[in-house]
Amino acid sequence: MASYLFIEARDPFDSGDSHHIYDLAGGLADNGDDVTVYLVQNGVLPTRAASNQAPLVSTLAGKAKVLADDFSLRERGITSDELVGGVSTSTVDHLVDLITDDGRKVIWH
């Protein structure tokens, strides 16, 4: 089993590539790999339950660990009670720990 960390900083409203990253991360998780998706900057926008992209994030959170950067959420006025189920808040310190974890493959998009 491989371990992957996807870091998504782009808003799926502006970038269709985000959907491909979600699909790839979900597919790897379906195959039994350990997958974490860390959403940062505008990548946190679809974590709001009221977002029309929320179902995509919810589906991914059912397969992989989905973390949203707490600073990025605060900058965009998104509170933790607005998040899609399965999405957890995290810190940059935790992201650094994830990146430096031995054997983890990091994909920054």
In the chain, what percentage of residues exceed pLDDT 90? 83
**pLDDT for the residue numbered 1:** 87
Is pLDDT at 34 greater than 90 in this prediction? yes
The torsion of the CA quartet 98, 39, 5, 96, rounded to 10 degrees, works out to -20
Chosen CATH of 3-108 out of 3.40.1260.10, 3.40.50.300, 3.20.20.140, 1.10.3720.10: 3.40.1260.10
Residue 57: burial class (beta carbons within 10 Å; 0-12, 13-18, 19+): buried
Is pLDDT at 16 greater than 90 in this prediction? no
**pLDDT for the residue numbered 14:** 74
- Radius of gyration of the CA atoms of the chain, in A: 13
